[in-house]
Amino acid sequence: MILNDVCDLRFDIASGSRRPLATGAIPWSRALLVSLVLIAVGVGVLAPLGKWSAVFGLLLVASILLYNLLHHRWSGAVIFMGLCRILVYAVAAASVAYPFDLHIFTKMGGGLFLYILLLTIVARREDRTTPGLRRNLAWMLPPLGIAAGVICWPGIDYIVIVLGVLYVLWTVYAICALYTQPPRMRHAVMSLIAGICLLDAYNLAVLGQPVAACVAVALFVVTVAGHTKVSGT
Are the C-beta atoms of residues 112 and 119 closer than 8 Å to each other?
no
Given a cut of 60, whether residue 126 has pLDDT beyond it is: no
Main-chain dihedrals φ then ψ at residue 26, nearest 5 degrees: -130, 130
pTM for the model: 0.81
Return the higher-pLDDT residue of 97 and 191.
191
pLDDT value of residue 165: 93
More confident residue, 2 or 44: 44
pLDDT tens column, 131-170: 566 778 888 888 888 887 777 776 668 888 999 999 999 9
Would residue 122 count as lying in a domain?
no
* Mean pLDDT computed over 88-109: 82
Is the model more confident about 220 or about 125? 220
Q: Tell me whether residue 67 is in a domain.
A: no
In a domain, 105, yes or no: no
What's the average model confidence in pLDDT over 221-230? Answer: 87
Q: What is the DSSP letter of 77?
A: G
Query: 206: helix, coil or strand?
Result: helix
Instruction: Compute the distance between CA of residue 83 and CA of residue 99 in angstroms, rounded to an integer.
Output: 19
* Residue 81 contacts residue 114 (beta carbons within 8 Å): no
> What does the pLDDT read at residue 178?
87
What is the C-alpha separation between 4 and 7, in angstroms, rounded? 5
pLDDT for 198 beyond 90: yes
8 has pLDDT over 60: yes
pLDDT band at 232 (very low <50, low <70, confident <90, very high): low
CB 185 within 8 A of CB 128: yes
If one counts every other C-beta atom within 10 angstroms of the C-beta of residue 173, the result is 13
Mean pLDDT of 116-142: 74
Taking alpha carbons only, the member of 192, 210, 101 closest to residue 152 is 101
Q: For residue range 29-71, what is the model confidence (pLDDT) as tens digits?
A: 888 899 999 999 998 998 888 888 999 999 999 999 999 888 8
Q: What is the pLDDT of residue 180?
A: 85
- Please give the full DSSP string across 80-110, using - where no structure is assigned: HHHHHHHHHHHHHHHHH-SS--HHHHHHHHH
Question: What's the pLDDT score for residue 233?
Answer: 60
Residue 150 maps to a domain: yes
Percent of the chain clearing pLDDT 90 (strictly above): 27
Overall average pLDDT of the 65-87 stretch: 87
In this structure, is residue 10 part of a structural domain?
Answer: no
Phi, psi of 166 (to 5 degrees): -60, -45
Q: Across all residues in the chain, what is the average pLDDT?
A: 85
Number of folded domains that form the chain: 1
Query: What residue numbers bound the domain in which 176 lies?
Result: 132-233
Is residue 36 a part of any domain in this protein?
no
